[in-house]
Structure 1
Amino acid sequence: MDQKAFFNLSYGLYIISTSHDGKDAGCVANTLQQVTSSPQQMAVTLNKDNYTEQLIEKSGRFCGAVLTQDTNMEMIKTFGFQSSKDADKFEKVEFKRDVHGIAYPIQNVASYFSVKVVQKVDLGTHVMFIGEVEDAEVLAEKEVMTYAYYHQVKNGTTPKNAPSFQEKTEKSGWRCSICGYIYEGDPLPEDFVCPLCGAPASVFEKI
């Protein structure tokens, strides 16, 4: 099977967030989509190992924020390459809360949706949450970031927990454990600094 066929599917890039029992969580995802227009329903698929997924299971609600093309890699790193269990991802970003207290970012966001989960589907390693949209708002009239733009222009990579992750065996080198940037070559210079997130060589992992 040609794995590259999957690369022709079109995706957006979003931050999925939730809050439960005083704890906020959020992650980057490319799987948010509208599934029906009447009623207005959306679905998102997240890995079971994802802390945001685990809190959605408890809260029964989530917000989806549509990222714009001017989103910086620092924000992607914050929400995409660390766990909300260990870090307060909303500490350094502008955010609001919906009427149910769910935190969602507002900087570099074109629009947001507040969703109540009405059904979930177990997909083995992942869970699909299907929910009714209770509120939505356009926050900025800007070009939204597609998954292709993220890879081709931002030179971004995909976290292992993402549904679209594919192990790339054709490349050899070193991967930044913070943002996912790949340095092709061996050895990795001791004084190398990640061009995306500024992390030192010590956090790079051999691939």
Structure 2
Amino acid sequence: MNQAAMFKLTYGLFVLTAKDGEKDNGCIINTAMQVTAEPNRIIIVVNKQNYTHDMIMKTKEFNVSMIDTEADFELFKHFGFQSGRDVDKMADFAFSRAANGITYPDNMVNGYISGKVISETDLGSHTMFLADVTDAEILSDAESVTYTYYHKNIKPAPQPVKKKGWICKICGYVYEGEELPADFICPICKHPASDFEPIQ
């Protein structure tokens, strides 16, 4: 089986935000889609290791913002390469609040959708949330970023590495060593060992 075929599936990229009490947080996800029009419902799929996941499990509300082609790599680093358990992701970041009180980025996104969770499905490493759409706004006419566009135009090319090890095909994280544990999870993007390849 060629695992690389999985990268041919079409994905968008999104900033998912949540609020628990006074705490605001967000992360990057690649699975959000409308599943019904009447009633208007969407699903999002979130890695259980993300702090935003835990906030949504508790509060049952979120905003999902569609990243646009004017976004730069700093947005992905800001929301995807650090944990809200350790840093305040909204500090020194331009954002507004939707009617549900949850933040959304002021730029580099072309719209947002607010959701109220009605059910959760355990998918192992991730949870799928089914939600009623409670609000939605268009913020710009810029095109939405796809996973392919991100890899070709936004993500920096990996720099040559001379060490023995394994490199994450998603974010470029390098695991040093001869063997990569089968249960290894990338500490940056949370992808499994199957998304690593040997450094040549």
| Structure 2 counterpart of 1:85 | 85
In structure 2, the CA distance between the partners of 1:139 and 1:166, relative to structure 1 (3 Å rule), is: farther
| Structure 2 counterpart of 1:6 | 6
In structure 2, the CA distance between the partners of 1:152 and 1:171, relative to structure 1 (3 Å rule), is: farther
**8 Å CA contact 2:81, 2:189 repeated in 1:** no
SS at match of 1:160: coil
| Structure 2 counterpart of 1:43 | 43
| Structure 2 counterpart of 1:122 | 122
Runs of 4+ aligned structure 1 residues displaced above 4 Å come to none
After the TM superposition, which residues 95-134 of structure 1 pair with which residues of structure 2 at under 5 Å, given as runs? 95-134=95-134
> 1:98-141 deviations in whole A, cap 9, x for unaligned?
22211111211101000000010011111111101110000001
| Structure 1 counterpart of 2:141 | 141
Output the amino acid matched with 2:71: T
The runs of 5 or more residues in structure 2 that have no matched partner are 157-169, 172-187
**8 Å CA contact 2:15, 2:64 repeated in 1:** yes
Distance in 1 (CA, whole Å) between partners of 2:109 and 2:153 is 18
Identity in percent: 38
Distance in 1 (CA, whole Å) between partners of 2:101 and 2:14 is 19
After the TM superposition, which residues 1-207 of structure 1 pair with which residues of structure 2 at under 5 Å, given as runs? 1-155=1-155, 157-158=170-171, 159-161=188-190, 166-172=194-200
| Structure 1 counterpart of 2:174 | none
Distance in 1 (CA, whole Å) between partners of 2:152 and 2:57 is 33
Distance in 2 (CA, whole Å) between partners of 1:22 and 1:102 is 10
Q: CA deviation at 1:160?
A: 3.4
Distance in 2 (CA, whole Å) between partners of 1:87 and 1:43 is 27
Q: CA deviation at 1:162?
A: 5.0
Aligned residues: 171
Output the amino acid matched with 1:2: N
Distance in 2 (CA, whole Å) between partners of 1:161 and 1:130 is 22
Output the amino acid matched with 2:109: V
Q: CA deviation at 1:166?
A: 4.2
SS at match of 2:154: coil
**8 Å CA contact 1:47, 1:162 repeated in 2:** no
Distance in 1 (CA, whole Å) between partners of 2:49 and 2:11 is 22
**8 Å CA contact 1:46, 1:162 repeated in 2:** no
Q: CA deviation at 1:31?
A: 0.6
SS at match of 1:169: strand
Distance in 1 (CA, whole Å) between partners of 2:125 and 2:71 is 29
